[in-house]
Structure 1
């Protein structure tokens, strides 16, 4: 597909949005980028501090976006068969005191761990103050029962980083560089700042004056927030989070990262969390990515799979700029001004007649749903119109399909055939779907009244 540049009006709207954010948020500098259909299509920058001259290759600290990188490493270990996400931490990293928590619970912030470390504010304290895990976890590391609720935890990702080091036998950052950064070409992403990079600043809340923020090495907390990166690198990483890359993680595994794994907290609205990925709904649009902050810096990476868009916004101020909202607005501006043009419809090159036979309407009781054959050989089951239960199903090669999303995620779909080979009914998670409502002779649970349908006259 030929790549098309953004229209001049769209580019101006994007520039206006970040200019407004930088001016109203009083950020010393702000950089942003947008990717569409896998390609970087726009970058922008605003600055008021001499010497910064920011562009898409200047490093900013990205804070908790680091967690998404750490989660990728954990999913790689799972895909290699080294561990299972249901494994308790104790199996691979013994002696932490919270070994009953599973790896999946740590990834999704449902392990019940404290949000922060005990003692001094770890983001502004030297790494030498946290030489061991007990210094990160403290004497009472659990604030909630394990698995009961979503509670964002920085120490939880320290544990995941230590898990990676224990399994790989080398430092977290070395593993990250070899297994993620280098394969994806993220050459301007690093644990320590590399010139050119922005300096971190605090902006006085009631006066237009600045105070430099310290840039601490986070030590054991590095897997939770250490990284520095650029907008160019991060949009490349965002594209990977949408589509996968078999050198790092498959499309199926990054889709799993983007799948809600934790319930929304009361008051959070439509906001959930996957595996190292924040999931929000803005104006009906599902965004997946992460936000980040450390003293002197704020950052956001969002993707919209439906629109084929990704955005990154980085600023070098401790607070003041709502970069999450700005990054969401950048996606909205492009999606609204230049809607994604669908690929041309094409007929299937081949079709399995046994699957084609299953397409069309089916009934669960009196409710109708439709089975459609998708272009990729999968099948889709959903309501004939409006909202209702629906899922995509992946063929397993044995005449069954496994649900990938929606109500039937993980459930089995099977076409049950009669002795003559004709289809009797569909079985989806024990529900019997027939070609007619309460079809006579079909194995409908509870049976079908032999008198059939009737009026009340």
Structure 2
């Protein structure tokens, strides 16, 4: 039986989605798999497969989501930044003194570039009680740093324990209480919590060489909770995915979420080759020509994945209750691809500007940086976009500063100023973009081209 939202997808698309998770559950030998697809900000499909005859989990059954928890913690930190309580460039020591690793900035911890170890010392923290690590010193151990701070990406679970402690210090309340008040309740994530509430799946390990299972322990992670404690459902994570794509002013703006989705950690060669990067609490991937953001998660007995294609306006959530065996990232990526290709996004109707500023219209059209041709366009959202006409080269959108100058938003020109330079009669002479001069003609002699323009001008080979 389908819900009204599910009717938005064609029957052939729904069957393809079900087929994909059925193959994943069967070939991955998972006790159960549950999935959801989001489009246009709402869940449009849910499906499940299980080894228990006659009883499949629905979108409200809880599973542990492991490191997807980190994205929730990152949202709390970005809220502190947006309120002016912290700056992402602040050293941790300024707000949480005495850790011994306070040289790392908040941004570096969010991006796993703080140089911290990947895991805690002592027993495997995911399979041992959090009571064994009651203090941050127990989480960090005697050798908390394994790399120079800020020099490279190195995934660190203890780094997110520190960020959770930062939230507690600045809010004066436990991490889980702050999370519930500031994120879960406003977004209506009523089935997401630090502890399971029925109905919830049990965690299982499946024997690699025999079709038998063993129950996995479900430990309270204590200080490590901000790195991986949460339990959630396919329905709740579908709502969370919609929020991560579009924002919600009650929790975090679309601009701040876009910042979270921007690469923030120094990339390693292997990561570049695999199309992997990390933002502020979000994993960024480029697979099969599609840009995906989100996070994966695992704890003994559970696997979880949330991926979003912002360009396609499609997200997928997949949850399984097994320690290994199901390639959830591949499955979630396939679910996005199935919907995006079978039912591609229909763009909104083109709309013209309500009003056009003549001084801005003067800027549009063809420009040259040296001999390279570019087009400057004005869109209905009142951004200027610079695009190389060859198809190759630097491009960016620019936002008006309200004083005749513009600030770059992306790529090489992010944060750089675009300033129209006018002659004495008020006409535009050239554009100054971070000291680069763009002219209406290649090396226009009437513009202030650095180094000047050869007075003999352009000539053929006979004039050399």
Q: Aligned partners of 2:54, 2:433: CA distance in 1, in Å?
A: 63
Whether the 8 Å CA contact 1:116–1:154 is kept in 2: the answer is yes
Whether the 8 Å CA contact 1:301–1:310 is kept in 2: the answer is yes
**CA drift at 1:454:** 1.0
**Could you list the per-position Cα deviations for residues 215-273 of structure 1 after superposition, in whole angstroms to 9, with x for gaps in the alignment?**
00000000000000011110111111111111111110000000000133222321000
Aligned to 1:224: 227
Aligned to 2:84: 81
Aligned to 1:208: 211
**Could you list the per-position Cα deviations for residues 7-32 of structure 1 after superposition, in whole angstroms to 9, with x for gaps in the alignment?**
11111110000000000000000000
Q: Work out whether 1:182 is the aligned partner of 2:185.
A: yes
Aligned to 1:450: 455
Q: Aligned partners of 2:301, 2:410: CA distance in 1, in Å?
A: 39
Q: Aligned partners of 1:52, 1:394: CA distance in 2, in Å?
A: 53
2:255 aligned to which of 230, 252, 257: 252
Q: Aligned partners of 1:234, 1:406: CA distance in 2, in Å?
A: 30
Aligned to 2:321: 316
Whether the 8 Å CA contact 2:35–2:318 is kept in 1: the answer is yes
Aligned to 1:238: 241
Whether the 8 Å CA contact 1:96–1:133 is kept in 2: the answer is yes
Q: Aligned partners of 1:84, 1:52: CA distance in 2, in Å?
A: 49
Whether the 8 Å CA contact 1:301–1:312 is kept in 2: the answer is yes
**CA drift at 1:338:** 0.8
- Unaligned stretches of 5+ residues in structure 1: none
Residues 109/155 of structure 1: CA separation in 2 closer, same or farther (3 Å cut): same
Q: Aligned partners of 1:273, 1:398: CA distance in 2, in Å?
A: 35
**Could you list the per-position Cα deviations for residues 299-343 of structure 1 after superposition, in whole angstroms to 9, with x for gaps in the alignment?**
000000000001000000000000011000000011111111111
**CA drift at 1:412:** 1.2
**CA drift at 1:385:** 3.7
TM-score under structure 1 normalisation? 0.98
Aligned to 2:407: 402
**Could you list the per-position Cα deviations for residues 352-411 of structure 1 after superposition, in whole angstroms to 9, with x for gaps in the alignment?**
111111001110000011111011111111111422210111111111111111221111
**CA drift at 1:52:** 5.9
Q: Work out whether 1:335 is the aligned partner of 2:340.
A: yes
SS state of the match for residue 270, structure 2? Answer: coil
Query: What's the C-alpha RMSD, in Å, of the aligned pairs?
Result: 1.2
**Could you list the per-position Cα deviations for residues 401-434 of structure 1 after superposition, in whole angstroms to 9, with x for gaps in the alignment?**
1111122111111111122211111111111101
SS state of the match for residue 43, structure 2? Answer: strand
Whether the 8 Å CA contact 1:29–1:52 is kept in 2: the answer is no
Matches of residues 3-402 of structure 1 in structure 2 within 5 Å? Answer: 5-49=8-52, 53-268=56-271, 269-402=274-407
- Unaligned stretches of 5+ residues in structure 2: none
Whether the 8 Å CA contact 1:202–1:319 is kept in 2: the answer is yes
Q: Aligned partners of 2:37, 2:221: CA distance in 1, in Å?
A: 29
**Could you list the per-position Cα deviations for residues 172-226 of structure 1 after superposition, in whole angstroms to 9, with x for gaps in the alignment?**
0100111111111111110000111100000000000010001000000000000
Residues 168/50 of structure 1: CA separation in 2 closer, same or farther (3 Å cut): farther
SS state of the match for residue 134, structure 2? Answer: coil
**CA drift at 1:51:** 8.7
**CA drift at 1:92:** 0.2
